[in-house]
Amino acid sequence: MNTLLIRAGLVMCLVLPLAANAQVAVTPQPDQELLLSSPDPKLAANKRLVYDFWREVFESGHMELAPKYMAESYIQHNPNVATGRAAFIDFFSRFAKAKPIEPRIKAPVVSIVAEGDMVVLSFVREAADPKDPAKKYTTTWFDMFRIESGKIAEHWDAAQKQ
């Protein structure tokens, strides 16, 4: 009996840590329109503002539309991009070429959350496993925006200096 308990304990010590580290893959929300709704019209408008900015300016490269969405005094917390709307346009104009604007965000969106003057977009991010680069795993990327007077006034993300 003691041998059986010792064996069971050994199996649990070996198997449970593996199960605890098993990842549930991050998956996108297939119906992005559901993410834009809110019983509060101001929160719904803030979500739509950020959503449309992401589609039209960020993903589609239409930098000429940035003033429609961004305050001139836009504050940037990403360490790779200078603060200010003009700096944002200058930085992204270097490599973003205008293309047709899609009706939905192309990136795999997990959620859009709005509270007060803040909107957070979360996305599925796929990366190579550092232990085995041939294997991929998913994680989550977040972009957070502060809205002021109907425009994006500030941005945060998890980017590190490159």
Q: pLDDT exceeding 70 applies to what percent of the chain?
A: 86
Number of neighbours of residue 93 by Cβ within 10 angstroms: 14
- Confidence band for 7, pLDDT divided at 50, 70 and 90: very low
Over the Cα atoms of the chain, what is R_g? 21
- Claim: this prediction has a pTM higher than 0.75: yes
Q: Map out the domains of the chain as residue ranges.
A: 26-157
- What is each CA distance from 97 to 1, 64, 105, in whole angstroms? 71, 11, 17
Q: Residue 140, SS3?
A: strand
Give ∠ CA 78-44-29 in degrees, rounded to 5: 70
pLDDT tens digits along 131-142 = 999 999 999 999
Mean confidence (pLDDT) of the chain:
89
pLDDT at position 21 is 56
pLDDT at 159: 86
pLDDT at residue 121 is higher than 60: yes
Confidence of residue 17 (pLDDT cuts 50, 70, 90): very low
Let me know if domain 26-157 sits in CATH 2.30.110.10: no
Q: What is the pLDDT of residues 37-91, one digit of tens each?
A: 999 999 999 999 999 999 999 999 999 999 999 999 999 999 999 999 999 999 9
Q: What pLDDT score does 19 carry?
A: 45
